Amino acid sequence: MKKLEEYVRSIPDFPEPGIIFRDITSVLQDPDGLRLSVDSIQGMLDGVDFDVVVGPESRGFIFGVPVAYNLHKSFVPVRKKGKLPCETIEMEYDLEYGSAVIEIHKDAIKPGQKVVIIDDLIATGGTMEAIIKLVEKLGGEVVKICFLMELAGLKGRERLAGYNVDSAIIYEGK
């Protein structure tokens, strides 16, 4: 079996010149790559005491659900505004150009629950910072944040200082 980073397709100059896009579709399309990615994230949780997995739309669903299933934990989705059917709380956060709003069901996290957040990529950390605020607003405690990939040059980990952050693959650039 190849190493995990060998399953990630790197596409130069996308979406703009000078950017190397790290494409996970090549990981998902290969049964060994998919297994290795889920196993790598799940391995980050060895010895971690937690109650629930939270994952943002949509790639956090891809990696968070199998980990939650394998470890017999519940899964809570965080979605774009207007996509969840019950009462929600929301958080606005900044994007490179503009802003966005994410939501979580108001009853999804119980006070005192220990939460693991799983997503595919950390870049600037803005989305994850917003998710953390939602979880904490509901009384949850974020005990671990797991990513498949990290773009270290964008310093997202610094934005999440004080939280236990782990990434399966770390790319030094942007």
Q: Which residues are known catalytic residues?
A: 59, 96
Contact predicate 40/168, CB 8 Å: yes
Helix 59-70 and helix 31-43: axis angle, to 10°?
70
Among 30, 27, 28, smallest CA distance to 5 is for 27
Q: Whole-angstrom Cα distance, residue 15 to residue 44?
A: 30
**What are the beta bridge partners of residue 169?**
149
Q: Are 160 and 128 in contact (CB under 8 A)?
A: yes
